[in-house]
Amino acid sequence: VIAEGQPEHSKVTTCAYCGVGCSFKAEMRGEQLVRMVPYKQGQANEGHSCVKGRFAYGYATHKDRKTKPMIRERITDPWREVSWDEAIAHTASEFKRIQSKYGRESVGAISSSRCTNEEVFVLQKLVRAALRNNNIDTCARVCHSPTGYGLSVTLGTSAGTQDFKSVDEADVILVIGANPTDAHPVFGSRMKKRLRQGAKLIVIDPRAIDLVRSPHVQAAHHLQLLPGTNVAVVNALAHVIVTEGLLREDYIAARCDRDAFESWARFIALEQNSPEYSEQFTGVPAAELRKAARLYASVKNAAIYYGLGVTEHSQGSTTVMALANLAMATGNIGHVGAGVNPLRGQNNVQGSCDMGSFPHELPGYRHVGNDEVRGAFETRWGLKLDDEPGLRIPNMFDEALGGHFKGLFVHGEDIAQSDPNTNHVSAALKNMECVVVQDLFLNETAKFAHVFLPGASFLEKDGTFTNAERRINRVRKVMTPLSGKDEWAAICELSTALGYPMAYNHPSEIMDEIAALTPTFAGVSYSKLDEMGSVQWPCNEASPEGTPMMHVERFVNGAGKFMLTEYVPTSERSGPRFPLILTTGRILSQYNVGAQTRRTENSAWHPEDVLEIHPFDAEQRGILDGELVSVASRAGDVALRAKISERMQPGVVYTTFHHPGSGANVVTTENSDWATNCPEYKVTAVEVRRTNSL
């Protein structure tokens, strides 16, 4: 299916890896892909690309692809290939049986940020209309759910404030908990270009990421904090701004809620938030922090970019709010070169959240308890909907272990590898009676599945992805699905078999329904996307051509709302038994749990995950570079090869999670964000010792 020779025709589509959302021309010979060529007119990438989007598409036709539906009675039985009709009928009958035995709430679904907006929309519709509950959650639960909470309560909506090109005008760039050159390479390059032009860089990260000191870029300040102390550091930056008179009083008076600001300013001025006080537990020298705060507040355009190093903490939502506070306090929202911008990990994190895949929200971030909103969906869908939020992913696992949650549809997501505390997840899955996995491969989760529905790669899909700058990009089908069925069509057929008929002729009709029900998408249609190339939401009567920058005249919630952000240390502490803190991240050539990139030539560049450890910690333990070590936490242990690295600070170790064998999530704990249950992947107390075997 992947061909050599001269291409005969091409279609423009969107990379299915990270949240930059680069456009490519898929150049074809017949139904065979010849190459992916970065698309110059692509509004997110302007002709640039990285090694993943450009070269790592071989997984789409890898021999491991499963293309036939399969079922089995027990998870110890061999798989049996069946027809689509049988697989769908069997799944529907199992879900109905479970609901009649254990109740309506005993089944649910997990949607994926890898899937198109249209697929996510129909899956949440299936749960709400066919299963008649709100037990739909998304893999964004374990990455950017704190962004949803934190930006909504402060600014009024769950989205980055700027488009990517805004960074071209930033005077100061503050990067916290993100590694753009590895995880968002095309945007990372754009950022580096701006830094080479003279913009100043502040990095807040436990590890010296590439941006801190690369050949052409040096950070003005690297605040190398201890994992778990983001809130204390951001509060300390704000403390300097408040106590040294660096606030933008005119902006705050015109744009922000006065009472909320005053109580925040009183709180942030307290000694407990000073750099000198926080230095004791953040590890960041007070003098350095003061200089960074003055730099951030001194320029016209200061932009914040953040990633999972902010969200995947017990105070992930608090840090997002603290960053929004910082930007409002210095007048850095609503103009070009500024803003608060989450760098989304997967290709469609933004879109999957927009599409109502959280258990408390209908599409467009509107609460299921809102009668008027729910009423609009009820009228369109012709039935009454549940007004109570459903189960979040961790609640699904807990309920499964308690014997109350028995049926789960997992769409394009490998929860057995990607969710924290693998042993806990495995035990929960084993306790279910019908686990359905729809995916390209028999992944780790499929080991616990009773039904496997073959998925389609992005080359086999029509639909849309929404990138980190709210840009809705078209995904265009260049190959017939190897399974013979579109994923959205399989979901619709399952809904119909469950008793709620759902049918569309094409994903464009699903988008029309999304537009009819979601005010921020009211002006979106495939014909507009074809005409304009892409469009950034909100796109409606007020902004028919979309919205590159949000909160320009006023915040979406009217007045920007400062929130109190008290630092509460995580309960995960180092101690005599587990004296080091493990944190995790990604590497350029691989992607997430590696299901795709490990099946391409990219894997040669990063064949295994390694443990980065500071020379001091290695020497203390007699560990040599390249040796095998065991990494043990309260939850479990794994073996990795050690890489002695000055990027680390003493007391902190680091690994990636691209290979199932290394199983970083075997050691991560069940701690999670207080507001959203996003797991605390970034802080795990561990001990590291030499070992002999993997």
Residues 228 and 309: beta-carbon distance below 8 Å:
no
- Closer CB to ligand SF4, 282 or 348, in the complex: 348
Give the nearest distance from C-beta 26 to ligand SF4 in angstroms: 13
351 near ligand SF4, judged by CB under 6 A: no
Which residue stretch of 11-19, 396-404, 430-438, 546-554 sits at the interface with ligand SF4 (rule: CB under 6 A)? 11-19
- Closer CB to ligand SF4, 15 or 122, in the complex: 15
Q: How far is CA 443 from CA 99, 340, 437, 575, 593, in A?
A: 27, 35, 9, 36, 10
Give the nearest distance from C-beta 42 to ligand SF4 in angstroms: 9
Give the nearest distance from C-beta 117 to ligand SF4 in angstroms: 16
Binding string to ligand SF4 for residues 141 to 180, with x set by CB under 6 A, is what?
----------------------------------------
- Closer CB to ligand SF4, 22 or 212, in the complex: 22
Pairing of strands 217-218, 107-111: unpaired
17 near ligand SF4, judged by CB under 6 A: yes
CA angle in degrees (0–180, nearest 5) for 317-320-322: 110
Give the nearest distance from C-beta 354 to ligand SF4 in angstroms: 18
- Closer CB to ligand SF4, 17 or 267, in the complex: 17
- Closer CB to ligand SF4, 465 or 555, in the complex: 465
Residues 652 and 207: beta-carbon distance below 8 Å:
yes
R_g of the chain, CA atoms, integer Å: 24
Binding string to ligand SF4 for residues 46 to 75, with x set by CB under 6 A, is what?
---xx-xx----------------------
Q: How many CA atoms lie within 13 A of 249 on its CB side?
A: 4
Residues binding ligand SF4: number (CB under 6 A): 14
475 near ligand SF4, judged by CB under 6 A: no
- Return the DSSP state at 193: H
Q: How far is CA 334 from CA 195, 256, 305, in A?
A: 22, 12, 15
- Closer CB to ligand SF4, 467 or 495, in the complex: 467
Give the nearest distance from C-beta 50 to ligand SF4 in angstroms: 3
Give φ, ψ of 557 to 5 degrees: -90, 20
20 near ligand SF4, judged by CB under 6 A: yes
- Closer CB to ligand SF4, 106 or 596, in the complex: 596
Could you tell me where the DSSP H helices lie in 213-307? 230-243, 249-255, 258-268, 275-282, 286-298
Give the nearest distance from C-beta 41 to ligand SF4 in angstroms: 15
Which residue stretch of 18-26, 147-155, 322-330, 559-567 sits at the interface with ligand SF4 (rule: CB under 6 A)? 18-26
Give the nearest distance from C-beta 587 to ligand SF4 in angstroms: 12
Which residue stretch of 45-53, 389-397, 596-604, 644-652 sits at the interface with ligand SF4 (rule: CB under 6 A)? 45-53
Give φ, ψ of 513 to 5 degrees: -70, -40
Q: Kindly tell me the number of DSSP H helices and DSSP E strands found in the chain.
A: 23, 28
Task: Compute the distance between CA of residue 44 and CA of residue 468 in angstroms, rounded to an integer.
Answer: 10
- Closer CB to ligand SF4, 22 or 368, in the complex: 22
- By CB atoms closer than 10 A (0-12, 13-18, 19+), residue 155 is buried
Give the nearest distance from C-beta 348 to ligand SF4 in angstroms: 11
Helix orientation angle between 316-329 and 230-243, rounded to the nearest 10 degrees: 20
Give φ, ψ of 305 to 5 degrees: -125, 130
Give the nearest distance from C-beta 121 to ligand SF4 in angstroms: 22
Q: How far is CA 406 from CA 102, 155, 471, 600, in A?
A: 8, 38, 37, 36
Site for ligand SF4 in 501-520 (CB under 6 A): none
Q: How far is CA 630 from CA 585, 619, 658, 663, 667, in A?
A: 19, 15, 18, 12, 11
- Return the DSSP state at 128: I
Q: How is the beta sheet containing 340-342 ordered, strand by strand?
A: 221-223, 200-204, 172-176, 302-306, 340-342
Give the nearest distance from C-beta 25 to ligand SF4 in angstroms: 13
Site for ligand SF4 in 175-204 (CB under 6 A): 184-186
Which residue stretch of 19-27, 174-182, 204-212, 416-424 sits at the interface with ligand SF4 (rule: CB under 6 A)? 19-27
Site for ligand SF4 in 100-139 (CB under 6 A): none
- Reading the block at residue 676, the tokens are 């959203």
Closest to 411 (Cα-Cα) out of 663, 124, 132, 133? 124
Which residue stretch of 43-51, 216-224, 534-542, 654-662 sits at the interface with ligand SF4 (rule: CB under 6 A)? 43-51
Which residue stretch of 10-18, 300-308, 404-412, 636-644 sits at the interface with ligand SF4 (rule: CB under 6 A)? 10-18
390 near ligand SF4, judged by CB under 6 A: no
Q: Give me the residue whose beta carbon is nearest to ligand SF4.
A: 53
Task: Compute the distance between CA of residue 118 and CA of residue 351 in angstroms, rounded to an integer.
Answer: 9
Give the nearest distance from C-beta 469 to ligand SF4 in angstroms: 12
Give the nearest distance from C-beta 464 to ligand SF4 in angstroms: 14
Biggest distance spanned by C-alpha atoms of the chain: 70
Residues 546 and 651: beta-carbon distance below 8 Å:
no
- Binding ligand SF4 (rule: CB under 6 A), the pick from 10, 12, 15, 518 is 15
Which residue stretch of 13-21, 284-292, 364-372, 422-430 sits at the interface with ligand SF4 (rule: CB under 6 A)? 13-21
- Closer CB to ligand SF4, 184 or 411, in the complex: 184
- By CB atoms closer than 10 A (0-12, 13-18, 19+), residue 395 is middle
Which residue stretch of 20-28, 132-140, 236-244, 617-625 sits at the interface with ligand SF4 (rule: CB under 6 A)? 20-28
Give the nearest distance from C-beta 382 to ligand SF4 in angstroms: 38
Q: What is the DSSP string of 619-688?
A: HHTTPPTT-EEEEE-SS-EEEEEEEE-TTSPTTEEEEE---TTT-HHHH--S-B-TTT--B-TT-EEEEE
Give the nearest distance from C-beta 660 to ligand SF4 in angstroms: 21
22 near ligand SF4, judged by CB under 6 A: yes
Give the nearest distance from C-beta 585 to ligand SF4 in angstroms: 15
Give the nearest distance from C-beta 161 to ligand SF4 in angstroms: 20
- Closer CB to ligand SF4, 241 or 588, in the complex: 588
Task: Compute the distance between CA of residue 46 and CA of residue 56 in angstroms, rounded to an integer.
Answer: 20
Footprint of ligand SF4 on this chain (CB under 6 A)? 15, 17-18, 20-22, 45, 49-50, 52-53, 184-186
